[in-house]
Structure 1
Amino acid sequence: MNVGDPIPAQEFPITRADLVRYAGASADFNPIHWNERFAKEVGLPDVIAHGMFTMATAVRVITEWAGDPGAVIEYGVRFTRPVVVPDPEGAVLSVAGVVREVREDGLVEIDLTASVNGQTVLAKSRAVVRPPAGA
């Protein structure tokens, strides 16, 4: 594994049903995440995905590559724009990763890019990971 090596990119469809399920699991029932009328009344273009849902979906690229969610030692992002989830078509979160650094302790730093319709939704998205065997 070398600096600059890519992590396989993936696309994740996001639907309103996903947001409702996440609201139930997280107990975040803010209507901007499920009620189009309310979201528009507060100035949003439509319903938006929860930030933590977006963050968790993006890191799946790494957990699936590593083969173990427990391999992620650190993970952080900066939210740059909301993920708008229109009904019924939903949205598609496109995520790719690249090795930023291979550390002396054997851990790997990975930078992620996450976008919807070509617009970045997460910035400074970086994880420290225990790489899979043989990587």
Structure 2
Amino acid sequence: MPDFTTLTVGDSIGERTITVNRADLVRYAGASGDFNPIHWNERFAREVELPGVIAHGMFTMGAAVQLVTDWAGDPGAVIDYQTRFTKPVVVEDLAGESPTTAPGTEITVTGKIGAKDDAAGTARVDLTVEAGGQKVLVKAQAVVRFA
């Protein structure tokens, strides 16, 4: 875990690029029980006026906070996490590619210290989450408690 006493508002906690393909969406659907066809059926997604198959919002949210849990070194240190979903993460069908090795869509996550509460021993990490050059989550903030 980072040293709380040396943290400063504005400090970077790092950056991560997450690659998501359709096989990832199928695995997540199985784990979460969310089999909504907008996450796997191109025709259906377009019929409901989406730009194509989209990643589960909770998948995107969970993938983004991994940057914070890795930085903190303890998933239990994240005591609050919230965000707003602004744009869907469109996961293209890469025809002819193996579903398990297809390159997929990239989600970029960067984090910085947004606030620090010395009395509580917590720091708020603000995340920037983008796919296709657009912010897909806004006000993505995780609160980390330091021992």
What TM-score bracket applies, with the shorter chain setting the length?
Answer: over 0.9
Amino acid aligned to 1:97: G
2:135 maps to 120
| Structure with larger Rg | 2
Between the aligned partners of 1:5 and 1:99, the Cα distance in structure 2 is 5
Deviation of the 1:130 alpha carbon: 2.4
Does the aligned pair in 2 maintain the 1:98–1:112 contact within 8 Å? yes
Between the aligned partners of 1:59 and 1:28, the Cα distance in structure 2 is 20
Between the aligned partners of 1:35 and 1:20, the Cα distance in structure 2 is 11
Aligned-residue CA RMSD (Å): 1.1
Q: Where do 5+ consecutive residues of structure 1 fail to align? A: none
2:3 maps to none
TM-score by length of 2: 0.86
Question: Would you say how many aligned residue pairs link Structure 1 and Structure 2?
Answer: 132
1:111 maps to 126
Identity %: 59
Alignment of 1:1-135 (within 5 A): 1-88=7-94, 89-104=103-118, 105-131=120-146
Between the aligned partners of 2:26 and 2:74, the Cα distance in structure 1 is 26
Deviation of the 1:87 alpha carbon: 1.3
TM-score by length of 1: 0.94
Ranges of 4+ aligned residues in structure 1 off by more than 2 Å: none
